[in-house]
Structure 1
Amino acid sequence: MSAIGVTPAQNLAKRPSRRPAIDVARGLALLAMAAYHGSWDATYFGLAGFDLLGDPLWLAARTAILSSFLLLAGIGLVLASRDGIDAGRFLRRLGRVAAGAAAVSAASYALFPDSPIFFGVLHHIVVASVIGLAFARLPAIVTLAVAAAAVLVGTTQGFPLFDSPWLRWIGLTSVAPDSNDYVPLLPWIGGVLAGIGLGRLWPRLGEGVAVTGRAARLLAFGGRHSLAVYLLHQPLLFGIAWAAAQLMPVETPAVREFQASCVASCEGAGVARATCAANCGCVQSELARNGLWEGFVANRLDERDRRGLQAAVAACSKP
């Protein structure tokens, strides 16, 4: 397939060289994301009590990590297209990311059928990369203005029309859908467009910066293979957290508080203490296994989640 903007021969001669500093930045973003996902896994299995959905610091951390990924995706698009887009290379990369997004969705539907990932960060990057091509040659000020508008509209507007399962990927929903990773087009495309704008504004960004030291080289390696690292790190961390939950007793402050309150209430109903302790431990384990523990601790269970809580209590109370 011929290239867009230059001939195949020119593409071979002008294929953009990597900038290790950008790879290091991408590696740092991956490291931060792994730390966040590790915290989510620990909370999911009841090994920790992080309030990832309510604590402003955790919310800010998620925003910063995700924004850095999308910003770097935009910068990378500019670097890849500065001598013209090689359509074949672009489509192959897009296909790999799309395949990764499909794999993430399939796994999430199997593990978390009540909160699957239908439009997460990889899905977003696929769509935003295609849209971003229209901005890769525009003046930086135009792209940055559109980025700001996307963030403003996406964070301030919401309409019931966009609550439809077919339109939720756009954003602008009046009620946030249940998903373990929801990165709609608006406002998050603002991050990709901001990266494109910055890449156009500073075309030599990261150029000539030497990467030395084992840690920096390791980060750069991760950044060069970011898709593989992204797809592999969460199953690995999830498995480690699951194994830890099976091997050690879960005794976080939140678990201890729940156990004490639950046992006291149960004993007040005339049930033996040993039976109460076993039933309450069973309920906590069921909540963690079904992804309800974090919402329960934060007192943010919706109607469907409360039905799940009732089902756990009923299952654990059977003789």
Structure 2
Amino acid sequence: MKDIIFFDRGIMKRKVERIWEIDLLRGIALILMIYFHVIYDMKEIYDYSVTYASGPNYYLGKVAGSLFIFVAGISSSITRSNIKRAVKLLALALVITAITHLYDANLGIKFGILHFLGISILTSTFMTRLKEYELVFLGSVVIAIATYTSGIKLNHDLLFFVGITTNNFISSDFYPLIPWYGVFLYGLAAGKYFYKSRKSIVIYHPKDNILTKAGRRTLVIYLIHQPAILVILELYTKIRAIL
């Protein structure tokens, strides 16, 4: 999460200190997101009788996205490598856009979570200069604007990155800047307020578990989880057809 520099007898030692609760929250968000993607693929690709557009699954998806983005905001407030992280995420996002459109042009990802995080983290270099209350205010404004823009429909999709699209716009993973950037700004504010020392605020740290371990490897797991889901669902569907 953050490179902490320690000094001991004049010798500079470099140590990576993890913030336990951030890994935990990121791991929870990742598991929820994977679950939601399983349901989405079952419905959209294999036509199983499940739903993701309403009910508990819909809200679990929203919780996963919100938590993921909020924690990304916290992390961005306490790391010095935001530009490097942002460029890496945007490069991976473009690769995912290309691959998903080759797989199914109708369901291709145009502005998913990685696109969103790449741009948001890139801006955090400047946004962290604001005070906590200013970030909360701006975040609230962004979310409030969404109540207006959500009803706007155009005859083109040039503004898809802020959530203004045609009725026919489809992106199987879609996190436009409005309203989600507001959640990211809330995370930045929380990070600046609670993690000024860039250390854990949890006194007692339980032992590592599957969630904290997953939280430390979020990007790798995110990149491989969708192909893994498709392989498993394909095998399950074929076995089910035989039986």
Compared CA separation, residues 246 and 23, structure 1 to 2 (3 A): same
User: How far apart are the structure 2 equivalents of 1:220 and 1:31?
Assistant: 11
Do 1:108 and 1:117's aligned partners in 2 also have CA atoms closer than 8 Å? yes
Do 2:158 and 2:165's aligned partners in 1 also have CA atoms closer than 8 Å? no
User: Aligned runs of 1:34-73 on 2, under 5 Å?
Assistant: 34-46=34-46, 48-53=48-53, 55-73=54-72
User: Aligned runs of 1:96-107 on 2, under 5 Å?
Assistant: 96-107=88-99
Do 2:97 and 2:110's aligned partners in 1 also have CA atoms closer than 8 Å? yes
Residue 91 of structure 2 is aligned to residue 92 of structure 1:
no
Pairwise CA distance, 1:25 = 1.1
Please give the per-residue CA displacement for 1:273-317, whole angstroms capped at 9, x wherever unaligned.
xxxxxxxxxxxxxxxxxxxxxxxxxxxxxxxxxxxxxxxxxxxxx
Pairwise CA distance, 1:45 = 4.7
User: How far apart are the structure 1 equivalents of 2:73 and 2:108?
Assistant: 26
CA RMSD of aligned residues (A): 2.5
Do 2:112 and 2:175's aligned partners in 1 also have CA atoms closer than 8 Å? yes
Counterpart pick for 1:207 among 183, 201, 204: 201
Residue 186 of structure 2 is aligned to residue 187 of structure 1:
no
Please give the per-residue CA displacement for 1:215-235, whole angstroms capped at 9, x wherever unaligned.
x43322221121111001111
Query: By percentage of residues, which structure has more helix?
Result: 1
Q: Secondary structure at the match of 1:164?
A: coil
Match of 1:79, as an amino acid?
Answer: I
User: How far apart are the structure 1 equivalents of 2:70 and 2:175?
Assistant: 14
Do 2:82 and 2:125's aligned partners in 1 also have CA atoms closer than 8 Å? no
Compared CA separation, residues 185 and 14, structure 1 to 2 (3 A): farther
Do 2:83 and 2:121's aligned partners in 1 also have CA atoms closer than 8 Å? no
Compared CA separation, residues 15 and 128, structure 1 to 2 (3 A): farther
Do 1:124 and 1:185's aligned partners in 2 also have CA atoms closer than 8 Å? yes
Match of 2:42, as an amino acid?
Answer: A
User: Aligned runs of 1:1-319 on 2, under 5 Å?
Assistant: 17-46=17-46, 48-53=48-53, 55-80=54-79, 85=80, 89-157=81-149, 158-160=151-153, 164-173=156-165, 175=167, 177-203=169-195, 206-213=200-207, 216-249=208-241
User: How far apart are the structure 1 equivalents of 2:156 and 2:44?
Assistant: 28
User: How far apart are the structure 2 equivalents of 1:156 and 1:15?
Assistant: 47
User: Could you say which residue in structure 1 is the equivalent of 2:3?
Assistant: none
Pairwise CA distance, 1:47 = 6.7
**Between Structure 1 and Structure 2, whose CA radius of gyration is higher?**
1
TM-score normalised to structure 1 length = 0.65
Do 1:46 and 1:250's aligned partners in 2 also have CA atoms closer than 8 Å? no
Compared CA separation, residues 209 and 243, structure 1 to 2 (3 A): farther
User: How far apart are the structure 2 equivalents of 1:45 and 1:14?
Assistant: 47
User: How far apart are the structure 1 equivalents of 2:227 and 2:116?
Assistant: 20
Unaligned runs of 5+ in 1: 1-11, 252-319
User: How far apart are the structure 2 equivalents of 1:141 and 1:111?
Assistant: 44
